[in-house]
Amino acid sequence: MQKTALYKALGIAFGALLVTACANNGDLEEGAGAATTATEQQANEAADSATTGVESASLQGEQMMSDAEKAAQQALLDITVFYFDFDQSSIKESGKAALSAHAAYLASNSSARIVLEGHADERGTPEYNLALGERRAIAVRQFLMAKGASSSQIKVVSFGEEKPAVTGSTSSAYAKNRRVEVKYQSR
């Protein structure tokens, strides 16, 4: 599901590149519309004056992803849970690559929608933890938006300590419960 969508996105980008490349080669597309083509315009201008414009548009290439890179990108998108330190809502360095991949995906798929679910571990009070979970989800939201995702694509909800990922009162259980989960509603 995730993969097809990604390839679709890459496909569109590649298609666009081809069109640009063709236009630059001077091959006119049929039925391109009512607008006068560049060559026609140049011809008209040439008739009216003594000067002649030169074709000066530079080529713009796009780095194509190798299969390995695609796989790496997909692997990052498969990471949907991001962890936090106790009473903290700052994103850890280790999660930034994957979050950047989600941001890029959202930026190139404007119809994609996500919910960021913020959670806290069971220590401390339920209501303070509700606020903490929300802060964490908001931190992720801000990161995604800074990297190109739009606010309309992101909904935030905090469950505080009410929905632990794992039960148990150990530091490893706590670490797994202090998290934000990225949940795609539509791709």
Phi, psi for residue 27 in degrees, rounded to 5 = -75, 115
Residue 128 interacts with another protein (CB under 8 A): yes or no: yes
Site for another protein in 141-180 (CB under 8 A): 141, 156-160, 162-164, 167-169, 171
Closest CA to 153 of 179, 180, 186, 181: 186
Whole-angstrom distance between the N-terminal and C-terminal Cα of the chain?
Answer: 8
Least separation in angstroms between residue 138's CB and another protein is 3
Strands ordered across the beta sheet of 179-186: 81-83, 179-186, 113-119, 154-160
Residue 131 interacts with another protein (CB under 8 A): yes or no: yes
CB of 180 closer than 8 Å to CB of 158: no
Stretch of 10-18, 25-33, 68-76, 135-143 contacting another protein, by CB under 8 A? 135-143
For another protein, what does the binding mask look like between residues 64 and 103, x meaning CB under 8 A? -----------------------x-x--------------
Alpha-carbon span 151 to 114, nearest angstrom? 10
Residue 120 interacts with another protein (CB under 8 A): yes or no: no
Give the residues lining the site for another protein (CB under 8 A). 87, 89, 122-128, 130-132, 134-135, 137-139, 141, 156-160, 162-164, 167-169, 171
